[in-house]
Chains A and B, each alone.
Chain A
């Protein structure tokens, strides 16, 4: 290659590298960037109010806890309200790191897809952002700090996102899952309800003489049921636990069982679970067979007297197995009744009918719950 061509090539590479590393001369000043970690959506007088929790980048040489601030914007649409945040604050809102979307209780009274569709269609927000419902307003939930983390959205995510081995006592849903379920045949979905359970005032008094601050603990053990985007009921703590059992998300979780025959409380750890929901269609009858197989072991027990010979790896007592099976069967039956009464098909029976009994789908899709018979079978077993 001659010298002229080499020079031209070097010049081209230099220009391309400059454009690449400068984001095509569009680099954003980091101090004018609002990295939004969570969004709360409330509705009032036909307008949406979006409260964004913004992580503030603070230059420091030492380790310090996360800092955040809240910015509010209003608009006729959710997208408009988010844009308003940028307009009023002067920050450029970056939603790429938004991992949590909180819906206020007032939003749940209308069709929530009107606000969630924006997130599903937009590439600015990732579809894997968690979705929760507040039992008050979204803004109150975001603005109340928690002792778990100085950034309240991180604290909320900690109680929703639990890995295997923790008690998964809340339902987990994200934007993609909710919108996919909304557009499904059953149009039914679940969103965990985050409640503030207790508020405490923590006294300040550090070197800077900080004021006392109110902190809150959150729980997400109850769940809102949605049909066609509107809230139709609530699942209790037991129902939520049962939903997690039937969705196969409870490996490593625990069940508190009272054995009437022994008069003792046991804490069973679910080592492995195998749920099964099958639909069968025969002679005009639609039957759902809901099965659950649980391999458990006793983690703890409370008896009237101490049992010095107790060994955890012994096979489960027959009385305990019977009590556990009855308990779980009752919970599943109550859950199915709730699904039938509200019409919220979170067990995906309509999907089951569409996918596995397609020839009967058109015939039974509108009257599925009216003609549904169900049979629950639970088997609990331990060491052999």
Chain B
């Protein structure tokens, strides 16, 4: 049977795309709440994602049907469409803040004077183009980009570690379990990546040992993110709460940089290349959902719609940034947790339902 993806590409997907969205304003949001225990908050969110991904990977490894078919078999067509509409909204909301922070990062760090919105339009052109492609395109992109992400992360982390004081992370747990969990809760929008794996069900062949490889890839991703959070706090400590875009600042305190020059921008550009795909992922899946729900045959309609909606959000964000930040960190985390982590856990139960009905 020919699959859209290979298991290898699922592993590379995790390493190439999942870490990069965590390198921007996530760390300052965590530091505001959990302070020196912010890495524990990140670790907890990653643990929840791990449970979701492990469940989906392990219990659906021999599944031949894709996510849409499982939903239809289990809930009927109306039920399926209802769930998918909610997931479409989930992905659109999940993409909002990462796209806005990408725009702000590029605007603040790569431009000398204040550009207008036109400079960011190419992103929407790219996101539209990616959303017209099939899952296979994501797999091939992951093949190409996982080394780019790893290299970029390595450059940034190695240079930043030289100027980090890890004793700033002490004492562990001093802020209380409440603040750690609150920090984790407020940042579910940046995590909740288990939802992506719903679309991999039935789309990749699993040989012996592939599940272990996928879970090990996730562990590597988790180590990169947790180490990044630790280095971030080690570099900034008491001013971590205000460092919204640490990527350009973290490596700059290394003496190598002051002697040789800002070659850390090479790592930053690598990460920006990967983040182009990473930030477009929710739009990709949202357009696939719209195609399925409304039975859209023309490949450009749904991508045009989702990128149009996101463009409107980005334009609005000029005046409503504070509102969007509060929405994302205080009102929506429960929804992200529900759709990103809790509901996917029911898929292994749902996929049995067709066969049980047949037995009856």
Contact = CB atoms under 8 A, between A and B. Distances in A.
A19 B115 CA distance: 11
Contacts of A16: 122
Contact of A358 (B122, B171, B242, B252): B171
Nearest to B126: A16
B258 A176 contact: no
Given A176-B236, A356-B170, A127 B249 contact: yes
B239 A176 contact: yes
Interface stretch (A22-30, A202-210, A214-222): A22-30
Nearest to A187: B238
Contacts of A126: 249, 252
B112 interface: yes
B44 interface: no
A266 B242 CA distance: 49
Given A19-B122, A128-B253, A358-B174, A94 B112 contact: yes
A91 interface: no
Contacts of B248: 123
Contacts of B113: 23, 26, 28, 92
A123 B114 CA distance: 13
Give the bracket for the number of chain B residues in contact with chain A: 20 to 34
Given A12-B125, A24-B115, A355 B252 contact: no
Contacts of A94: 112
B242 A121 contact: yes
Contacts of A180: 236-239
Nearest to B107: A123
A319 interface: no
Interface in B145-188: 167-168, 170-171, 174
B111 A23 contact: yes
A262 B245 CA distance: 59
Contact of B252 (A128, A179, A181, A184): A128
A354 interface: yes
A183 interface: yes
A120 interface: yes
B171 A356 contact: yes
Given A24-B116, A92-B113, A358-B171, A120 B242 contact: yes
Interface string B94-132: 000000000000001101110110110010010000000
Contact of A24 (B119, B168, B237): B119
B119 A19 contact: yes
A383 to B, nearest CB: 30
B292 to A, nearest CB: 26
Nearest to B118: A24
A127 B242 contact: no
Nearest to B116: A24
A179 to B, nearest CB: 5
Contacts of B249: 126-127, 176
Nearest to B254: A128
A258 to B, nearest CB: 34
Contacts of B171: 354-356, 358
Interface in A113-134: 120-121, 123, 126-128
Interface centre among B167, B171, B239 (most CB of A within 10 A): B239
Contacts of B245: 123
Contacts of A26: 111-113, 115
Nearest to A185: B238
A28 B249 CA distance: 24
Nearest to A174: B253
B239 A120 contact: yes
A30 to B, nearest CB: 11
Contact of A123 (B109, B115, B125): B109
Given A92-B113, A120-B242, 14 more contacts: A12-B125, A16-B122, A23-B112, A24-B116, A26-B115, A28-B113, A92-B112, A96-B112, A174-B253, A176-B236, A184-B237, A355-B170, A356-B171, A358-B174
Interface of B: 108-109, 111-113, 115-116, 118-119, 122, 125, 167-168, 170-171, 174, 236-239, 242, 245, 248-249, 252-253, 255, 258
23 contacts: A19-B118, A19-B119, A19-B122, A23-B111, A23-B113, A24-B118, A26-B115, A28-B113, A94-B112, A120-B239, A123-B248, A127-B249, A180-B236, A180-B237, A180-B238, A182-B238, A183-B238, A184-B237, A354-B171, A354-B174, A355-B171, A356-B170, A358-B171
Interface of A: 12, 16, 19, 23-24, 26, 28, 92, 94, 96, 120-121, 123, 126-128, 161, 163, 174, 176, 179-184, 354-356, 358
